[in-house]
Amino acid sequence: MSLPHAILTALLEKPSAGLDLTRRFDRSIGYFWSATHQQIYRELGRLETEGYIRALPAEQPARGQKKTYEVLPAGRAELARWTAAEQDPKPHRDTLLLRLRAAAVVGTAGLEADLRRHLDLHRRQLAEYEEIEKRDFPPGRDRAEDRLRHLVLRAGIDLETFWTHWLTHALDEFAQLERDERP
């Protein structure tokens, strides 16, 4: 249910065509709510049918011209309703943690290398988030909307920091397990 709300948010920030919206998802919203090009276009059609968005009139009619969408008052009201509604946290599901639990009964073959790969991926993502923070949130940028966007980015930074620390600890445990198994 959240994809339409992610799209409404992005369109309220800036009216966009589907392709531009897809690119913006890849650069920002996609860090915490991903969607394929096809999902975005399908949802744009639904949102338009429901009266939440509309395609802006083209300056010059042309066949095959991309549509730029804007949010209508009903779409803004729906986004405000959804934002204010209570939502319980979703149960955490992570295949890496499940695989680690399974390793306790079937052995750890191959898992250490994948933990190292995950650590590298999380370190790279953390570095990317920190670069975005430096670029987009310099000291003194404290309008309400900037502070809220920065808060979302901080969540990403904190999660990646957690994973890099946890994976480092897990790899230390693997090293200790190897030492404990030696005669």
* Collapsed DSSP state (helix, strand, coil) of residue 87: coil
Structure tokens of 80? 């405000």
pTM of the model: 0.81
What is the chain's alpha carbon radius of gyration, rounded to the nearest angstrom?
22
Yes or no: say if 79 and 12 are a contact pair by the CB < 8 Å rule.
yes
pLDDT beneath 50, residues of the chain: none
pLDDT score, position 63: 64
pLDDT score, position 123: 98
CA torsion, ordered 143, 149, 150, 152, to nearest 10 deg: 150
Residue type, 85: A
pLDDT score, position 62: 59
Q: Is 64 left (phi over 0), alpha (psi -120 to 50) or beta?
A: left
**pLDDT digit string (tens) for 75-91?**
999 999 999 999 998 88
* Collapsed DSSP state (helix, strand, coil) of residue 3: helix
pLDDT score, position 38: 92
